[in-house]
């Protein structure tokens, strides 16, 4: 075959001359030119680059002394365990701590350890045996074609590398003492957790989507982040300057004088704005012409409720209760759930709490609630349709919420409802429990996440107390783009006119029946979207706690009339890019 089977053989690719770039080697990024990537966490930064280059770990594949190898592996395990526990202590109360705890559990995984021992006993070195075990387990998870499981595979490799580095006696790269922008291929959760936030000004990754662990952690830490920027960013030179705009998802290496001055001015303005927003965080968000919009916080962990209140949140606009379920090895019982929810109500001092009932399936599996393999889990057993198959679990959760609330304001809403029939079925369960548990101030609402619900909002409005628009899912289902898709997520913009029209329909139907509407998806914290949402007459915005003061400040900066005009402008456009361009030049 290599000789051509009787035909002349022309090489598929011309031989590379020494001057040509090796195959797959990215072009270096030009100076002072913006590069567009995926916006993962808002904010602006200008600082020198530090490219995190994973050290190459070299080791022999085989060894003859299996006992010594096992001893070495055990020592590397102990070291990894204590490193992780130190990191957990440092990250206490933060989003990273539970992820790192999962890493500790992975270290204790007996199957993983046994797989490594087997390989060592068959002649592998400790390093090779261990990595073989990790790689097999990670590939097994990746093969399940589920995004969350694939992320667990990344966690597995992360733990694996830690042990491997300990075995090779290699220290992880040391970042500079001065402020810097961290550039990396992709960041594992423990890399992000290890970040010294006093020095890291922004994060940039070559791979990853806006919903990767690192992006979620960057948002929780309040660090600007741009992800999925491509391999070329790894070729950036340490110490060179980089502008990171986490709002627009753009990067500019080595900005010219004019751009530097512009960015410096914007940074100053942002710092002043932030300081003012912080000072006024406990004041209501009222537009210049006196229109009030409530600003609440999204929470995954009830322990963060006091922090949300301290940042000026006027309530919890979305409690993602599935995290209470994910934190336990089996479904938490009534008493456990009452304790959880009660602690949030206690912290809220009479402010309302909007609890979204258990929302698993799709990208959020629960170990103890195995689901059948589905080709399209996002279009399958998910949200309320899953909960309605086990009404006793939903009933216990509702009982816990009503009991914990007592006479404090509780709003219950159901995720991924497609129409009135599902809403009625879920509402019936609440009413059944309400007959037994008195709770003085309860409202029952529905999340608008499926386009059918927005289209049919006039049929739902008479029977609900409120709507809360989950723009993350609403966008995914309207534009038919998986919200976690690494390649397409940049096109999955909730400021798309199709999504805005669905929001408009929802608000109009709600207000015609005197119901209120909130937006709890990520769009609510997008500075370009805030006036549009207010112009569409959304009554409440619920955002990550850290953004509460800034969202309030943004609302104080325009009039309702101007907001309405922006909404009209946005609705008249054909694409998300057109909407953003029009708003930018408004």
Active-site residue set: 213, 520
**Per-residue H/E/C for 50-87:** EEECCCCCCCCCECCCHHHHHHHHHHHHHHHHHHHHHH
Stretch touching Mg ion by CB under 5 A, among 23-31, 103-111, 473-481, 486-494: 473-481
Report the nearest approach of Mg ion to the CB of residue 257 (Å).
Answer: 45
Applying the rule CB under 6 A, the residues between 512 and 571 that interact with ligand PEP are 520-521
Six-digit token string for 353: 């709490």
Q: Does 518 bind Mg ion (CB under 5 A)?
A: no
Which lies closer to Mg ion via its Cβ, residue 413 or residue 555? 413
Q: Are 188 and 156 contacting, i.e. CB atoms less than 8 angstroms apart?
A: no
SS3 35: strand
Which lies closer to ligand PEP via its Cβ, residue 302 or residue 471? 471
Q: Does 473 bind ligand PEP (CB under 6 A)?
A: yes
Q: Which of 141, 472, 528, 544 binds ligand PEP (CB under 6 A)?
A: 472
CA distance 228 to 225: 10
Which lies closer to Mg ion via its Cβ, residue 209 or residue 470? 470
Q: Are 450 and 468 contacting, i.e. CB atoms less than 8 angstroms apart?
A: no
Stretch touching ligand PEP by CB under 6 A, among 25-33, 252-260, 369-377, 471-479: 471-479
What one-character DSSP code corresponds to residue 25? Answer: P
Report the nearest approach of ligand PEP to the CB of residue 471 (Å).
Answer: 5
Report the nearest approach of ligand PEP to the CB of residue 300 (Å).
Answer: 8
Q: Are 265 and 525 contacting, i.e. CB atoms less than 8 angstroms apart?
A: no
Pairing of strands 38-41, 35-36: unpaired
Q: Which of 294, 363, 473, 526 binds Mg ion (CB under 5 A)?
A: 473
Which lies closer to ligand PEP via its Cβ, residue 153 or residue 318? 318
Q: Which residues are CB-contacts of 198 (< 8 A; sequence separation ≥ 6)?
A: none
Chain residue at closest Cβ approach to Mg ion: 473
Q: Does 377 bind Mg ion (CB under 5 A)?
A: no
Report the nearest approach of Mg ion to the CB of residue 469 (Å).
Answer: 10
Helices 560-571 and 497-512: angle between axes, nearest 10 degrees:
130
CA distance 316 to 520: 10
Q: Which of 160, 362, 470, 535 binds Mg ion (CB under 5 A)?
A: 470
Helices 66-90 and 96-107: angle between axes, nearest 10 degrees:
160
Residue 519 forms beta bridges with which residues? Answer: 469, 541
Which lies closer to Mg ion via its Cβ, residue 411 or residue 552? 411
Buried-exposed string 140-170: b where 16+ CB fall within 10 A, e elsewhere: ebbeeebbbebbbbbbbbbbbbbbbbbbbee
What mask, x for binding Mg ion by CB under 5 A, covers residues 404 to 443? ----------------------------------------
Q: Does 363 bind Mg ion (CB under 5 A)?
A: no
Say how many residues touch Mg ion, by CB under 5 A: 3
Applying the rule CB under 6 A, the residues between 393 and 452 that interact with ligand PEP are 449
Applying the rule CB under 6 A, the residues between 306 and 345 that interact with ligand PEP are 318, 320
Q: Does 470 bind ligand PEP (CB under 6 A)?
A: yes
% helix, strand, coil for the chain, step of 5: 45, 15, 40
User: 208 contacts which partner out of Mg ion, ligand PEP, none, CB within 5 to 8 A by kind?
Assistant: none
Q: Does 500 bind ligand PEP (CB under 6 A)?
A: no
Q: Does 506 bind ligand PEP (CB under 6 A)?
A: no
DSSP result, 331-380:
---HHHHHHHHHHHHHHHTT--EEEEP---BTTB--TTS-----S-GGGS
Q: Does 208 bind Mg ion (CB under 5 A)?
A: no
Six-digit token string for 238: 């340490």
Positions that interact with ligand PEP (CB under 6 A): 318, 320, 449, 470-473, 520-521
Positions that interact with Mg ion (CB under 5 A): 449, 470, 473
């Amino acid at each position: 075959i290599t000789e051509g089977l009787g035909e002349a053989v022309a090489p598929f690719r011309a031989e590379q001359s020494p001057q040509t770039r090796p195959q797959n080697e990215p072009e270096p990024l030009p100076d002072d030119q913006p590069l567009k990537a995926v916006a993962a966490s808002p904010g602006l930064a200008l600082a020198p680059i530090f490219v995190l280059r994973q050290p190459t770990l070299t080791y022999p594949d085989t060894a003859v002394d299996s006992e010594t190898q096992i001893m070495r592996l055990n020592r590397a395990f102990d070291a990894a365990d204590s490193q992780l526990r130190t990191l957990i202590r440092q990250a206490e109360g933060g989003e990273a701590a539970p992820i790192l705890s999962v890493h500790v559990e992975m270290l204790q995984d007996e199957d993983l350890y046994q797989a490594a021992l087997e390989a060592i006993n068959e002649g592998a070195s400790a390093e090779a045996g261990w990595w073989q075990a990790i790689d097999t387990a990670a590939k097994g998870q990746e093969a399940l074609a589920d995004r969350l499981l694939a992320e667990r595979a990344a966690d597995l490799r992360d733990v694996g590398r830690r042990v491997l580095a300990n075995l090779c006696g290699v220290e992880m790269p040391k970042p500079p003492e001065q402020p810097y922008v961290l550039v990396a291929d992709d960041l594992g959760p423990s890399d992000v957790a290890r970040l010294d936030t006093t020095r890291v000004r922004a994060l940039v990754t070559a791979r990853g989507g806006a919903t990767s662990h690192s992006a979620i952690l960057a948002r929780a830490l309040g660090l600007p982040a741009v992800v999925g920027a491509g391999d070329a960013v790894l070729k950036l030179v340490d110490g060179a300057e980089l502008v990171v705009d986490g709002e627009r998802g753009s990067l500019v290496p080595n900005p010219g004088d004019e751009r530097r001055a512009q960015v410096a001015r914007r940074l100053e303005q942002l710092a002043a704005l932030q300081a003012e927003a912080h000072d006024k965080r406990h004041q209501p968000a009222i537009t210049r012409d006196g229109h009030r919009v409530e600003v609440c916080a999204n929470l995954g962990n009830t322990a963060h409720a006091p922090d949300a209140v301290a940042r000026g949140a006027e309530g919890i606009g979305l409690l993602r209760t599935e995290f209470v379920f994910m934190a336990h090895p089996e479904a938490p019982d009534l008493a456990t759930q009452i304790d959880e929810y009660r602690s949030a109500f206690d912290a809220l001092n009479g402010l309302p709490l909007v609890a979204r009932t258990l929302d698993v399936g799709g990208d959020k599996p629960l170990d103890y609630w195995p689901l059948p393999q589905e080709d399209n889990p996002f279009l399958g057993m998910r949200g309320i349709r899953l909960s309605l198959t086990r009404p006793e679990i939903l009933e216990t959760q509702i009982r816990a919420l009503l009991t914990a609330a007592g006479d404090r304001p509780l709003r219950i809403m159901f995720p991924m409802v497609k129409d009135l029939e599902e809403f009625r079925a879920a509402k019936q369960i609440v009413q059944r429990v309400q007959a037994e548990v008195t709770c003085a101030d309860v409202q029952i609402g529905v999340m608008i996440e499926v386009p059918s619900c927005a289209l049919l909002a006039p049929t739902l409005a008479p029977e609900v107390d409120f709507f809360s628009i989950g723009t993350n899912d609403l966008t995914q289902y309207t534009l038919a783009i998986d919200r976690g898709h690494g390649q397409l997520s940049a096109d999955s913009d909730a400021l798309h006119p199709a999504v805005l029209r669905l929001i408009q329909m929802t608000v109009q139907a709600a207000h015609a029946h005197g119901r209120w509407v909130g937006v709890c998806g990520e769009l609510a914290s997008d500075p370009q979207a805030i006036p549009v949402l207010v112009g569409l007459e959304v009554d409440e915005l619920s955002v990550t706690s850290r953004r509460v003061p800034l969202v309030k400040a943004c609302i104080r900066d325009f009039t309702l009339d101007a907001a309405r005009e922006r909404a009209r402008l946005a609705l008249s456009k054909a694409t998300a890019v057109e909407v953003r361009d029009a708003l930018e030049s408004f």
